[in-house]
Each structure stands twice: as structure tokens, then as C-alpha cells.
Chains A and B, each alone.
Chain A
Amino acid sequence: MRLDRLGLVRYGRFTGRVLDFGARPATGPDLHIVYGPNEAGKSTTLAAWLDLLYGIGTQSPYNFLHPYATMRIEGTLELEGHRRAFTRIKKPQNSLLDSSDQVLPDAAILAELGGITRDAYRTMFSLDDETLVAGGESILASRGDLGQLLFSASAGLAELGQRLERLKQEADAFHKPAGRKTGLADLKARLVMLKDEREQVDTLASTHARLVEAETAAGTAYDAATAERGRVQGEIEALTRQLGALPRLAALRAARAELAPLADLPEPPAGWAAELPALQHADVALATRRASLRDEAAGVERALAALAEDPDALAEAENFDLLDERAARHMTAARDLPARQLERAEAERTIADLLARIGQANAPDPQSLLISAPQAARLMALVELRSGIVQRLATAETELAAAQADLAEATARQGRDVAPMPPTSDAMALLAATVKSLRAEDIGGRRQRAHRDRAVAQAAVADGLASLAPWQGDAEALALMIVPDASEIASWKTRSETAAGEVTLYRGDVDRLATQLAREAAELAALAALAGRGSDQEAAGARLQRETAWAHHRSLLDEESAAAFEAAMRRDDIATTARLGYVADTARHGQIAQVHAITEAEHRRAAELHAAARARLQVEHERIASAVGRLVPGLMEAAGLGGFETWLRRRERALEARAALRAADTAWRDAEGIAKAAKERLAAALQAVGSTFDPVADLDTMRMGAEAGLEAATAAEALRLQVEERQRAVDRRVRAHAEAAAADAAWMDDWQAALAGSWLAAVDPPVGAIREMLDGLTALGTALGKVAGLADRIAKMKSDQSAYRTALDSVASRLGMASDDGTGALATRLRNRIRAARDTQKELQSLSDRLAENADAEAALARDEVNIKRQINAMTEHFGVEGLAEVAQNLAAISERARLSAEIRAAEQEIAAALGMTDIDEAERVLAATEQEALAAEKAALQQRFEDLVGRCQQLFAEWSTATDRLAAIGGDGAVAAIEARRRTVLVEIEEGALRYLRLRAGVGAAEAALRLYREKHRSQMMARASDAFRTISRGAYSGLASQADKDGERLIALVAGGGSKAAAELSKGTRYQLYLALRVAGYHEFASTRRSVPFIADDIMETFDDFRAEEAFRLFAGMAEVGQVIYLTHHQHLIPIAESVCPSVKVHRLDMD
């Protein structure tokens, strides 16, 4: 298989990218290098190649630009000598298409690969750093059998050893001669378990028979025991009852003895027993009560006899009570009278004061001074209006005076000022507008700025020109110069730098090669010194002598010639031996001499290249210097090419300043023109208003003059308007003053009318005093009323006092009492005598009532006594006794008799029941015949027997139910049959497992034996190839590979050129990688020798190789490329010349260029 063309239509970062490897070259190696810097897509290319062959996996990382659905790889492959185009898209199935997008089976490609899987292909022939190492490690890790290792290397079966080991373990899992935990052992254990289980579950026939018999026997025994237990229990119960009845018999006999003396007592009527205690109690209570009634009556009669009555006082009592109200009034008047008289004197003084205040102290009748309320109100209203009217009049007069003063002032001012300019309004307006617009335009400012800008620009041009030294000339000359452009200068620099870079590069080569020459020369000298002792010429001379001697001896065959020949032969042997001793040094000398010659040639060549590069650099320098010198003489020598670039930038800046100066000139001229036009406009406007001005003054002066004229005209107009306004104000104030005077006159008329008709009219008090006088009159009215009321009350009190005294005196005379003390004391004496008479009367009445009640109670007591006596007599007669106490004794005896009878009946019944008889006499006889001790002994014996029987019954029942259970447990189901079926299944499993074990064991054994044969067959060839490849790639540092037996089998070792050996793991990282590569190279040749080759692709696997080993690796690749296609992907540009030196026909493809 060969890859002619790989089209990355949509894959990873690529879109429509094609790598064309062309057709297989007719002769020579088919070696390709694909160069691309980092990120150019080398790994993507490698992945795309694998995906084209084997399909794009379900998870691909190359979908970041083109999604899964659009991913597409195209390839043209050479299969069996025919070119065929394929396309791979991302699909689970049917992803391989032909050139017309028809689905192809995957086998169309895979058949050509000879069954190499994707993993094997990656491990063996599609290498990157990772797979190179991983595959190599796994080859070495398989230790042991070298045959396996080499087999792995050629077949791509990296894990053959592990696979065989796994299969062996699989077999061992079933059976291993010394093993315990094997599948077979498990199965056998299950057989044993099943046997145990069956024995546990199943029952033997003989056991069954025994069980049936035991079950029957146990049933019978249990029935018998149960019957016996019932009988014994009955006997115990009978004995228990008899023993219980014996004490009852004794009680019965005692009761009968007690009953006999009570038999004769007469039976009392029902209820006496209950009535008796109440009766006894009532008898005692009646006697006690009679004694207490008699004592009480005697006490009351004694109290009555001690009382004395007062009938005169009682007759006056009612009359005296009627005087109570008068007594109260007498008391009040005696307290109030002095206060009222003081109050009346006070009021009379107040009246005198008021009269004095209103100026009428001597008025004969104060009552006549009072005036009516409506009149007083009218006066008050007028007083309140007065102040407003006075105020209004005063204000009107003040304002009028002020307005007249203002008017006079304005008129005076008008007369003083004279209008400077007659106001012709249109012309004035025009002038005002012109002045306003001139102020806004700021023409003067613009002119100044333009002038300043122009000066600055002129200075900049001068500076710019000065900075261009040593060049001299004006700005126009500068603008006319023709200078080289930036790209031209850049190309000068590039050429110059390239030339300088070459010089440096070749100088480095010359230095390195010179060092190498010296080293090699030293090595040669050392080897030559060693090799001098046995040179080739000496050996050749000895050999020639020997041949001559032999020829001589052969012709003569005598003793002398023989001796000569022997001597010559010995010399030859000695020379040969000596030479053999130094042959390695000699070979080394020759090798280094050869290398030395090559190095000398390289050194000469490098020196020549160095000289040529220096010449080129010089030419470049001169060319640039002449070009610059033409423009600016002297600059190049002083500042170099960098200085010229700086000069060019300064020239650009000077030219820019020149352009700026031109612009400033233009602006300045414009500003001057505008100023001139404005002056003309202002002059015209001033003439129109007739104003005089200085025609040669500058614009700003003219404008300020015009502005002053305009302001004066405006002020005169304002003053005139003010005079008119003030005249109108004076008119308004004159009218207001007249209205205020009229209102004052009207009020005076009203006032006079209001005063008319009262004593006030005669007095004609001032308006301010009227309010005071009216208040005094109101208070006077009140005081007059109060004096009249007090005089009336004082008169009534005095009359009440004299009437009360008269009444008291008449009562006292009727009772014969003296009446010579004060009114209060007399009243008290009378009241005490009347109260004493009334108390005595009340006591007499109460005692009489109590006497009557006592007599009623004594009568009722006598009736009760008769009743009680009758009942007591009935009882005493019944029993024939004296009193109630004896009756009570008899009743108690009768009650005891009834209790005994009931006891006797109960005992008789119990005894009959205990003995199970109906006839009480018979039962009594039987019971009397028995003895308690005998019965108890018999019962105890029976009790013991009963307990024994209970235990026995339980035991027998347990035995019987166990037997029944056992029989039932056997059951009749398929459990045993199921166990048997499982046992058969296990046996079948063992059978199958055994056969599988033997098959696997035999297969593994056969494969191992065959592998040994395979190794014998192939090892020499593979070892030779791998050995060659390793020697080549290590540039002879290692002479090859060998295998060495150790306890696990064989292991691969590397032979060091100078003698000694290293195991693969001890090699340096780079060398180990080279060993891995050598194994792949050998495998590739082995593969290609027996099958159609496949492309070998590697992605920068030489990171750890030095340049020389890289060169040798390319030599190996070139060798592989003779039998198949080899593609090497790299980002190291320096590898390209190395590859080209080894294989001139190598094709280089660049991923970084389209």
C-alpha cells in the first residue's frame, strides 16, 4: 500500500488542504518529509491518515472547526499497484466511500493491511513520541522469551505474552494441580453440599417405619395417662370438700346451744326496735323544758313592778315636736345676721365711689343717672369708628405732600439736562445694530491671532531647515528633492542583514570545523604512535619473505631451505600476531583519517563560503553609501543608514512646517480685509444719525464713540417718561384727601345726635372719656340692686327669732317649769324631759308581751306529755316490765335469737353440699363419723399422685406430637427431586468445565510450543536486522544487540562498541528511543519481506537524537523507503538539509505554505 495523496477536505484546522506525495519514484527511496512549525497540523495529519484507514472514532477531537457531520478526509492510495481514491466521513457505519461517493466496505482498505489493527499499526508503523515509547516499553516489558519479543515486533502483537498468560490463568481458574480455590473444587464442594442437603431433607424408609410405630405407641400412652389423671383429680376434689365441712359441723352445734334459752321470749310488733331510742329521748326533753318556762315568767313580773310613768310630759310631746323647724331657723338666723349687715354697708360704699368717678358725687338720686342699653351701645360704636377716620385723614395729607415734592424734583432735572442728539429712530436703530454686530464679530481679536500664528509658523520653518544639517538650502529646494521610499530602505536593510547573517553563520562553521580538525589530528597522531609498531608494510614484507622461502624450499626440499622457511614462517607469524594485536587501532586510524579528510574538505568549503559572504556584505554597504551621499553628502559617513532614516523623518517634519506657514499667511490676509469693510459700514451709520466722528480713528475707537452717543439718547427719553408719571400721581393724592375730610364731618353729626336725650348731653364729655363713664354707669346699676335685696332679708330673720321664744315659754308654763334662761338652754331642758317619759312607756309594753308568750308555751308542753306517756305504757305492758330500759334489753335478746337461727340453717346446707347429700341428718351422721387427720393424709397422697400424672401427661404429649411432627415433616413434595436435578446440573457443569479446561490447556501448550519453534526459525534474521539498525543509528557506539538467557527466559541487551553490554533499561533516554526505533525498523523490514509494505509514518520522534544520530536515522528511513513508503513529519527545519544530505531524492512538503 502507498499513500499518493491525502486530502484534508474538512478535518481539524484544515479546509481543502491537500498533501500530494506523487507517484512512487521509479528508482531510489520513497522518502518524504512533511515540514510544518508547531500548530501547523502535523499531528492532525497523522490522525487523519489513521482515520482514513480505520474510520473516525465516535469521539474525535478534530471537530472544533468542522462539526462531525461535515468532517471528510480523501485519499488516493495505491493498492496492489492500482491507484484508487477513497473518502472517509464521520459515521458509525458505511463511512468509507469511493470517488463517486458510493459506500465501500471497510475491507476494501483493510484487506491490503494484512489484518493489522489500528492499535497494532499505531504501535508499529505509525509512530509519534508517545507510541514510540509505549510500544517500545511493552516490547521490553514482555521480558523472557525473545522469540515472543521479535514475534511481537514483526506481527504487531505487542501483548502476546500477557495474552497467553491470561489464557493460562483462565484454564487454571478451573483446575490447577496444586490449587485449592479452583472452579472444579467449588463445583465438587457444591456436590458435597447437595448430598448433605439431601440427607438432611430426605428420610430413609426404615426410619419412616420406625417413626410410624413410635407415633402410634406415643398416642396410646398419652390417652391412658390423661384418663387416670382425670379420675385422681375427682377424688381429690371430694376429699377437699369433706375437709372443708368439718369446721362447719362444730359451729352448727355451738349455735344450737346458744339458741335454746332464748326460745320463750314474746315476739314484739315490727318497728319497736327502731322507735325505742326516739321515745326515750323525747321523755327526758319534755321534763327539762317545763322547768325553764317557769323560771322565765317569774323574772318578767319582777321587772314590771319596778317601772314609773310621766303622763304630763307625754301629752306635750307631740306639740313640742312641731317646734323643731322653728328651732332650726332660729339657729341659722343667729349665725347669718351679723354677716348680712356688714355686706349691706360694703355695697353702699361702692355706690359712693362710682358716683365720684363719673363726677356726680352729690347726685340726689343715683337711680336717675342710669342710661338705657341701646343708647350706650350706639355711643360705643361711634367711639370705635372715630380712630379710623382720624387716621385716614392724616395719611391722605402726608401722601399728597410727598407726591408734590417728587414732581418738583423731576421737573427740575428735566430743565437742567439738554438732549445731545435728536432721536431719529430709524437711523438710531441702524446704528445700534451695526455696533452690536461689530462687537460680536471680534474683528480686532482675529487680526491679532492671525498675526501671531504667522510668526510661529515662520519660526518652525526656520527650525526645521536648521535640523537638516549638514544639508543646506531653503524650504523650496527641500520640497523639490527626490528621496528613496521606505520599502527601498527596508530592502537595503534586509539585504545587508542577510549578508551579515551569512557571514556570522559561516564564521561559526569555520570555527567549529577548525576545532574538529584539531581534535581529529590529535587523535590520528595518538593512533599513529600506537600503530607504528606493527605497520602494514612490515607485515607485507614478512609475508613476502615467507613466500620466497617456501618457493625456495619447495624447489630444494633440503634441511637448510627448511630451516630458512621455518624462520621466515615464524617471522611472518610474529608479524601477523603483532598486527592482529593492533588491527583495531589501525582500523580506527583509517576511519578517523577518512573522517579527517572529509572534515578538511568541509573546513575549506566553509572558509570559501565565509569569504564570499563578506564580499557580498561589502558591496551592499557601498551601494547604500553612494545612494545616500548623492542626496546628503557627508551624512552616511557621520550617521550611517540609521542616521539617514532619521534625516528623512526630519525632512518630512520641515516640509510639514512649510505647509503650515503658507496656511497662516492666508489667514492673516483674510482678517485684514474683514476689518476694512467693517470700518466703512460703521462710518455710513454714523453719518446717517448726523454724528460727528474722526474719519482716521481706528475701528474700535469709532465704535466706542457711537456706543456713547446711543446711551445718551436713551437716558433723555427715560427722564421725560418719569415726569409725566409723577404728575399723574399728584392728581390721585388730591382726590383722596378730599374724601377723607368729608367722612370726618359726617361722624361729628352722628355723635351729637347720640348724646341728645341724656344727662350726658349737658355734660358733653370728651370722646375718650365716654367709654369710662359708660362702664361706671353699668357697675352703679348692679350695686343699687344688691343693697335693696340685703335690707329685705335682715328684716325677715329678726321676726322669726321672736316668734320661737314665745312658743317655748308657753310649753314651759304648761309643764310647770321655769323659763328664765336663754332660748337654747330652755329648749334642751324641755326636750330631755319629754324623751325620758317616752322611754319608760316603751319598756312597759315590751315586758307585758313576753309574759303572754310564756303562758302559750306552757299550754303546748302539757299536750306533748300526754302523747309520750301513752306510747311508753304500751311497751311496758307488752313485756310486763317497769321502764323503757328493760324494754330495750328484751328487744336485743330477740334480735340475737334470729341471727342464730339463720346461722344454723346455713351450716346445715353447707355440710349437706360438701358431702354431696340432700338429707342433712344423714350428712351430719356421716361427717361426725370421719376423722380430720385421716382425711388430710389421704388427700396429700392423692395430691402427690396427681402431680406425677400431670408431668407424665405432658411428657407423653410432647413425645406424641414430636412423632406426629416428624412424620408430617417428611411431606410428599419435589424437594429431593429438585436437589437431584441440581446435582445433575453440577455434574454437567463439571463435565463441560473439564473439557473446556483441557481444550484451553492443550491449546495454550500447543501455542507455546509453536512459539518456541517460530523463534528458532526467525530469531536469527530479526536479530540481525534489529542489530544492524541499532548499530547504524548509534553511529557505531553500539555494535549491536544480543540475547542473554536469564531465569525468566531471555532478555535483550545492547552491546557497547568498546566491549561490555547494557540492558535496555540502563540505556540513556535518547539511546533507548533509538533502540525502540531500531526494533520497529527491523519489524518493518520483516513485515515488508513477507507481505506488501504499508506506509511508515513518524511524527517528530527524533527530539532526543543528536544531529548525527538523526542523520543515521534518516539513513535507516532511506533504507526502509527502498521497500515501502516512509513519511516523516517534523517541525525542525534543520533536519531537512540532514535528510537531503543522506538521501538527495527526499521530497519535502511544507504544511506552512500553500
Chain B
Amino acid sequence: MKTARFLADQLRRLDEAGIQTFIIRGNHDALSKITQELVLPAGVKLYRGRAEAVAIERPRGEVPITIHGLSFAKPHAPESLLPGYRPPLADAVNIGLMHTSLAGAPGHDVYAPSNLADLQAHGFDYWALGHIHLRAAHAGSATVVMAGMPQGRDINEAGPKSVSLVTVLDDRSIRVEERLTSIAEFRRVAVDVSGLSEWPDVVAAIGQALRAARTDTRSPHLVARLEIAGATPLAWRMRRDADLLKAEADAAAAGLGDAHVEKLVLGVDNPALTTGDGADPLVELARLVESEVLGTAGYRATLGEWAGQLRGQLPAELRDLLGVDEEAAARLMEALAADGAEDVLARLQADAPPGDVG
């Protein structure tokens, strides 16, 4: 209710400034009793489960504008909502609001499916769509815009985030401007360290990649996930001293200003494993791990057991973390084991001070 009251407060500010607000309810709102309880200011129009068309009050002689809207009455809407909307009003500029997953987006369930062609054929001048967090704009007989969201929340909502400012011009034409609103922008930054053999070179490569990413980022803050890959003799050291490398990356980011390193993902390989001196016990150990441990059924079974134990302890929200099905889980565990073996071997090396190793 706190959050709802906050919303109401902000809507009141809009109302006091003479700005009208039009709201439709989506799948989440349909569940919510909060929005029903809220007392909204006079300047806010909340559409109900039956389609309505509301004209905006305008001075005589100006182009009339009508806003069409329809709210979700239930959390799920397996059918298209489009047939429920009223036909466009002649003479007026018609704007439709709809909560829809369009044809469905990857990783999302289907909500009120509709397709672009049908929307454009309905006769409205502009469709303001919501539901999917990634912005999409489609020109055509009707301008269709999926506005996305104003601020990404994690690395899975990477990239700049925005709102759309839509202007109806006197000649009834529609102008759409994307306004950047994200304060921080998540971004995956790839760093190739192939063939680098000196630690400072690696640090330099990270710095360079971060600088390029920072330059490309329009939002005030960059939150980078560094994905470091390549074959390098430093692979073990990077795994062993991952925290040191993270500190180096943090320092590089701090040097750029308004840049932050969220996490390092190490995908580096050690060429010594394939080409190096076979007599080094550690190399031999690594080879044994790769060839005679990782693939064995017994080891996999043990892994599966550990994963099972852990899964039982995870909170409900994360139950799918270790793979939604058996096959995915096995794939995940295989990757984890390969990575983990690399990490452990790297850390078994003697803790040589940084200066002593090339």
C-alpha cells in the first residue's frame, strides 16, 4: 500500500500540473487489490474490464483526440483483447492502450497475444503497448510502440532503457521520441586475453575493453559484467587470483568514472595443458582430471547428488537455477565441473608472490 500511495502521490502531482493520466491494468495489476483501493485524483483515467473511449478535452478548433483502453480483468488472458476495443472515432485521432505480449517474446509466457498486422488494421493512429521490458517500435499505417521500461534491473535487462514521448502534430501526424531514462546501464563486456603472458597486459586489456564500453554507454552509469576469454599461460593465475583481478578491474573502472564491474566471468584456458611440459605434476594432474575424472559416470553421479542436496536448500524462487529439467541440469553441472577443476588446480599452485611469476 505504501508503494501504491507513492504512485497516487505522484499522479496527484501530475494532476496538479494539469496533466491527464490514462491507465490500463495488465496481468500483475489484475491480481492486485491495491489499485482498487487507491483513491486516484480526478485527472487520472483508469480503464475497467470493458473497453472505453475517452476524449481529451481540447479547445474548440483543435484536432480531437480519443484514448481507447481496456484493462485485464483476470491475471491471464489467453485470447487476443483486440476484438473488445471500440472502432476508431471518425474525425478524431485515435490512440489505443493495450497490455500484450504481441506474438510472444522469448522467455515470457503468452499474454493477450496479438499480431502487428491486426493492430495496424484496426484503424487507430497509435498503439501504446506494454508488457515486454524491451523497447520495440513499428512504423506503418498505425505507429505501434512497445515502450519497454525506464530502468534495467539486472544483467538480463541489459542495454539503455527509455520512455517514449509521443506528439500528435496539428496535421494529425504522430511523432515518437525515445527519451533515455536509465541511470545505470547493464552491459556484458567481452575481453580477449588470448596469447597474453604478462599480468599487466591482462589488466591493460581489461582497462581497454572497459574504456570502449564506457564510451559506448549513454546512460550516466555503466555496470559491466566482464567476460574474459582466451588461451593464456596466466589462466591458472587469473583463476587463483580472481579476487585480485576483480580489484584491478574495479580500479580500472573507478579510473574511468561512473563505471562499475558487477562480476568477472572467466572463460580462459591454459595452453600448457595441451602443449606444455608433460612432466610437471600439476599439468599431469590437470590432464588426469580432464581425461579420467570429469567424464566418468561415478563422478557425474556424485555431482548430481551434490546438486540435488543443494537444490533442496534453495529458496522457491531459485528452484530452477540448477536446470529446469534433468538434461539442462546435467549440462550445467558439466560446465561447472570443468570450470571448478580449473579453479582448484590454479589455486593448488604454490602461492607465489605476484612479482615472481612472469
Contact = CB atoms under 8 A, between A and B. Distances in A.
Interface of A: 54-55, 92-93, 105-107, 110-111, 114-115, 117-120, 151, 154-157, 160, 163-164, 167, 175, 177, 184, 188, 191, 201-209, 970-977, 984, 987-988, 990-992, 994-995, 997-1007, 1009-1011, 1013-1014, 1089-1091
Which residue, B4, B281, B307, B313, has most C-beta atoms of chain A within 10 A? Answer: B281
Interface in B300-331: 302-303, 306-307, 309-310, 313-315, 317-318, 321-322
10 contacts: A191-B315, A205-B36, A970-B5, A972-B5, A972-B9, A998-B333, A1002-B341, A1003-B343, A1013-B293, A1091-B277
B340 A1002 contact: yes
Given A209-B37, A1005-B299, A1091 B280 contact: yes
A80 to B, nearest CB: 13
Contact of A994 (B284, B285, B321): B321
Given A167-B347, A206-B33, A1091-B277, A1005 B5 contact: no
B8 A972 contact: yes
A107 B350 contact: no
Contacts of B339: 999, 1003
B154 interface: yes
Contacts of B176: none
B1 A974 contact: no
A999 B336 contact: yes
A1010 B285 contact: yes
Contact of A1005 (B285, B302, B348): B302
B297 interface: no
A991 B332 CA distance: 13
A998 B342 contact: no
B58 interface: no
Contacts of B279: 114, 1089-1091
A974 B341 contact: no
Contact of A163 (B1, B310, B342, B347): B347
Given A106-B358, A175-B313, A998 B307 contact: yes
Contacts of B318: 987, 990-991, 994
Contacts of B6: 972-974, 977
A1013 B358 contact: no
A205 B337 contact: no
Contact of B280 (A110, A111, A115, A994): A115
B294 interface: yes
A1013 B291 CA distance: 11
A154 B283 CA distance: 13
A126 to B, nearest CB: 15
A114 B277 contact: yes
Nearest to B3: A976
Contacts of B306: 998, 1001-1002, 1005
Interface string B266-282: 00000000000111111
B153 interface: yes
B108 interface: no
Nearest to A150: B281
B1 A208 contact: yes
Contacts of B322: 994, 998
A163 to B, nearest CB: 6
Contacts of A1089: 279
A1000 B240 CA distance: 12
Nearest to B33: A205
Chain A interface helix/strand/loop/mixed? helix
Given A974-B6, A976-B3, A1091-B277, A1006 B299 contact: yes
B1 A202 contact: yes
Contact of B321 (A970, A991, A1001): A991
A971 B347 CA distance: 52
A415 B352 CA distance: 131
B314 A990 contact: yes
B2 A972 contact: yes
A990 B315 contact: yes
Contacts of A191: 315
B292 interface: yes
Given A972-B8, A1005-B302, A987 B317 contact: yes
A117 B340 contact: no
Nearest first, the 9 A-B pairs at minimum CB distance are A1090-B279, A1003-B340, A972-B5, A1003-B344, A999-B340, A205-B37, A155-B281, A1002-B337, A1010-B288
A976 B285 CA distance: 52
B348 A164 contact: yes
Chain B interface helix/strand/loop/mixed? helix
Which residue, A156, A160, A1006, has most C-beta atoms of chain B within 10 A? Answer: A1006
B345 interface: yes
B124 to A, nearest CB: 33
Given A1010-B288, A1090-B278, 18 more contacts: A163-B348, A184-B310, A188-B315, A204-B33, A205-B4, A206-B37, A970-B1, A974-B6, A977-B3, A984-B153, A1000-B340, A1002-B306, A1003-B340, A1006-B340, A1007-B341, A1014-B284, A1089-B279, A1091-B279
Contacts of A184: 310, 313-314
B25 to A, nearest CB: 14
B315 A975 contact: no
A1026 to B, nearest CB: 16
B310 A201 contact: no
A1013 B310 contact: no
A167 B358 CA distance: 25
Contacts of B282: 115, 155, 157
A1003 B344 CA distance: 6
B57 interface: no
A971 B5 contact: yes
A54 B314 CA distance: 48
Which residue, A93, A191, A975, A990, has most C-beta atoms of chain B within 10 A? Answer: A990
Interface in B18-49: 32-34, 36-37
B356 A154 contact: no
Contacts of B337: 999, 1002-1003, 1006
B281 A973 contact: no
Nearest to A105: B358
A115 to B, nearest CB: 7
Given A990-B318, A1002-B337, A1014-B281, A974 B310 contact: no
B289 interface: yes
Interface string B153-170: 110000000000000000
Contacts of A994: 310, 314, 318, 321-322
Contact of A167 (B32, B344, B356): B344
A58 to B, nearest CB: 10
Contacts of A991: 318, 321
A998 B153 contact: no
B355 interface: yes
B344 A1007 contact: yes
B340 A998 contact: yes
B8 A205 contact: no
B223 to A, nearest CB: 13
A94 to B, nearest CB: 11
Contacts of B317: 987
Given A970-B1, A977-B3, A998-B307, A1003 B293 contact: no
Given A163-B347, A994-B321, A1002-B333, A1007 B358 contact: no
B355 to A, nearest CB: 7
A186 to B, nearest CB: 12
Nearest to A118: B356
A160 B5 CA distance: 60
Given A972-B5, A1014-B285, A1090-B279, A117 B356 contact: yes
Contact of B310 (A92, A987, A997, A1009): A997
A1019 to B, nearest CB: 13
B282 to A, nearest CB: 7
A1113 to B, nearest CB: 26
A93 B347 contact: no
B294 A1006 contact: yes
Nearest to B10: A972
Contacts of B2: 201-203, 970-973, 975-976
